[in-house]
Amino acid sequence: MDDRDLLKVVMDIVGRENCLDDCAVFPCGDRIMVITTDMLHRTTDFVPGMSDWQAGWMSAAVTLSDIASMGAAPEFILIAVGLDDWKCLAGVMQGARDCCRKFGAKIIGGDIDRHGELTVVTTGLGAVEPEHLIRRTGAKVGDLVCITGTPGQAQAWLDGYHQFEKALFEPQPRVEEGRKLGKAGVSAMMDDSDGIALSLYDLMSVNTCGFSLDSEKLPVPAGIPFDQARNLALYGGGDYELIFTIAPELFPVPGVSATVIGSVTARKEVLVDGTPLEKRGYQHRWE
Amino acid sequence: MDDRDLLKVVMDIVGRENCLDDCAVFPCGDRIMVITTDMLHRTTDFVPGMSDWQAGWMSAAVTLSDIASMGAAPEFILIAVGLDDWKCLAGVMQGARDCCRKFGAKIIGGDIDRHGELTVVTTGLGAVEPEHLIRRTGAKVGDLVCITGTPGQAQAWLDGYHQFEKALFEPQPRVEEGRKLGKAGVSAMMDDSDGIALSLYDLMSVNTCGFSLDSEKLPVPAGIPFDQARNLALYGGGDYELIFTIAPELFPVPGVSATVIGSVTARKEVLVDGTPLEKRGYQHRWE
């Protein structure tokens, strides 16, 4: 069983419509609030060598990234910290606070729990004008497929390229880019935290179209043989870039550094260089 | 170190004003939204014998109780589940959904994580008219101190009185009571999840007054010698009753079953039968 199998279990219980986007949404006066929650913990997410401050930073960043992927501006974070060692707490909270400060959010609440290993669950709230809310649905045939930044760097560190430590240890959510892309009217968006391949399969599952990538257009981590770098970009986890579809006439979006990596196709399949893209990436697994 | 020591660490980092109530609050059109997050897990919270469904129920209930304690009506829940065994997921989600349904909330999002033990973090959102929002601050000298229901039953199960299993395994948040008390204008409120004693010390820490209890007035679990039952009620954890202060002329509140257990005093101390109440109850501890 993997995350996506289990998501089907959840859909049957709480309704498919509550499981489709990076964030849930609800109306708030004349705006839309988006809300998301993410669980991270030591053995899976906080790799050896990461400081408490970095664990806190990462915990806030992954949540801010989900908010950004809806075109929303982050407002509030709540942070529940399960602690094996109480001395971690200050560092974790300072890291989360500093990440929030950088990206315009504020910590307004949380919980402290005694736990067998450091476990941090951040819940993030953002706000967006209804007309600028972006979802995973909405991709149109003929749209460009684009990605911000350089995917694959976090996985490159995990695979031994330690020059990419910052990418994995201190991810920078694309908050400003998400707002600009939302205002520009991109057609669909999500973050690529489980890798480009799984993200495109996730997008395909809620749209009626498919995607075709050109691997030569992929921005890849520098200093790594191309075939390996391409695989890192397509299948690696731990990145927090935004992957989006956009009508060709709207690209590029001023102030957003992004690369066209393919196009939206009528056939419901994900291709790279004309052949089916493997459906693999960062997943939790249970036996 | 215990929870309350660590809360001081957090206050220094995120600001004391963000750590004072059962929920954080933010404006939402002409209403106030309240939001809270709670981490529960197998070794600490889901006692042996508890089903997955009950673990899910409890996870939602503790969050709904925090919302009720602000006078708000629950609206939405997000639920992050860390799973050692994927087969737990359906039961946990069904229990959380059933609790939400009973109390008028809806699950709108969440996260699934692989974890070393079952860990559930629920985030709850509620809404309240600004004039009916109740906080921990606001207690006035001469107010009555009251509690809903019968405290001490959950702790009674933990101490071997297994007739109280339902109280611990399937807590019933006082959602309807919270709304009625908010509309009636109680002066301060919180839930007593760490016991009456710690709750009153928490209330004293944010008010300028103290509290005096009369132990003979305490509603206590039936069928237990009085001295022990009294201690269960004062110091036991795992209850989700509402403890509140209210002007005498406003009591009783129609439709709310509650007992007067004491009064608000000018001296900043917590007394029971004229002597200082021990400051102990349910706390997490770290060495």
pLDDT (tens digit per residue) in A240-273: 999 999 999 999 999 999 999 999 999 999 999 9
Burial class (CB in 10 A: 0-12, 13-18, 19+), A63: buried
Residue of chain A whose Cα is closest to the Cα of B122: A37
Angle between helices A196-206 and A226-235 (to 10 degrees): 40
Residue of chain B whose Cα is closest to the Cα of A5: B86
pLDDT digits (tens, 9 = 90+) for A138-177: 999 999 999 999 999 999 999 999 999 999 999 999 999 9
| Mutant choice from A36, A115, A135, A193 vs B, greatest count of B C-beta within 10 A | A115
Strand order through the sheet with B106-114: B24-28, B31-41, B119-128, B73-83, B106-114
pLDDT at A81 over 80: yes
ipTM: 0.95
Cα distance between residue B137 and residue A206, in whole Å: 47
Domains in chain B: boundaries: 3-131, 134-276
Looking at residue B236, its pLDDT comes to 94
Looking at residue B3, its pLDDT comes to 86
Structure tokens at A146: 């684009």
Beta bridge partners of A34: A25, A126
Write the residue in A28, A39, A97 that is nearest to B82 by C-beta: A39
**How distant is the Cα of B124 from the closest Cα of chain A, in angstroms?**
10
pLDDT at A126 over 80: yes
Assigned architecture for domain B134-276: Alpha-Beta Complex (3.90)
pLDDT at B165 over 80: yes
Looking at residue B42, its pLDDT comes to 93
pLDDT at B284 over 90: no
Give the HSE-up count for residue B90: Cα atoms under 13 Å, Cβ half-sphere.
5
Q: Which CATH class is domain A21-131?
A: alpha beta
B69 vs A contacts (CB less than 8 Å): none
Looking at residue B272, its pLDDT comes to 98
DSSP designation for B31: E
Confidence of residue B164 (pLDDT cuts 50, 70, 90): very high
Tokens 């949540």 correspond to A63
Q: Round the average pLDDT of chain B to a whole number and report it.
A: 96
Displacement of CA B283 from its chain's centroid (Å) = 13
Write the residue in B9, B39, B90 that is nearest to A89 by C-beta: B9
Cα distance between residue B60 and residue A282, in whole Å: 29
Burial class (CB in 10 A: 0-12, 13-18, 19+), B165: middle
Write the residue in B30, B37, B116 that is nearest to A110 by C-beta: B37
A75 vs B contacts (CB less than 8 Å): 26
pLDDT at A4 over 90: no
pLDDT at A287 over 80: no
Tokens 């007739």 correspond to B163
Looking at residue A3, its pLDDT comes to 86
pLDDT digits (tens, 9 = 90+) for B116-158: 999 999 999 999 999 999 999 999 999 999 999 999 999 999 9
CATH of domain A135-276: 3.90.650.10
Question: Rounded to the nearest 5 degrees, what angle is found at the Cα of A90, between the Cα atoms of A84 and A93?
Answer: 100
B228-260 burial, b at 16+ Cβ within 10 Å, e below that, comes to ebbbbbbbbbbbbbbbbbbeeeebebeebebbe
Give the HSE-up count for residue B287: Cα atoms under 13 Å, Cβ half-sphere.
0
DSSP designation for B128: E
Write the residue in A23, A106, A286 that is nearest to B114 by C-beta: A286
Q: Which CATH class is domain B3-131?
A: alpha beta
Prediction pTM value: 0.96
A116 vs B contacts (CB less than 8 Å): 43, 116-117
* Rounded alpha-carbon distances, angstroms, from residue A34 to B27, B110, B287: 14, 13, 39
B93 vs A contacts (CB less than 8 Å): 9-10, 13-14
pLDDT at B287 over 80: no
Angle between helices B3-14 and A89-102 (to 10 degrees): 30
**How distant is the Cα of B114 from the closest Cα of chain A, in angstroms?**
6
Cα distance between residue A138 and residue A140, in whole Å: 6
pLDDT digits (tens, 9 = 90+) for A42-80: 998 999 999 999 999 999 999 999 999 999 999 999 999
Q: Are A104 and A173 in contact (CB under 8 A)?
A: no
Looking at residue A282, its pLDDT comes to 84
Looking at residue A202, its pLDDT comes to 96
Portion of chain A with pLDDT greater than 70, in percent = 100
- Cβ–Cβ of B38/A111 closer than 8 Å? yes
Angle between helices A52-68 and A89-102 (to 10 degrees): 40
Write the residue in B106, B114, B286 that is nearest to A284 by C-beta: B114
pLDDT digits (tens, 9 = 90+) for B205-247: 999 999 999 999 999 999 999 999 999 999 999 999 999 999 9
pLDDT digits (tens, 9 = 90+) for A208-249: 999 999 999 999 999 999 999 999 999 999 999 999 999 999
DSSP designation for A191: E
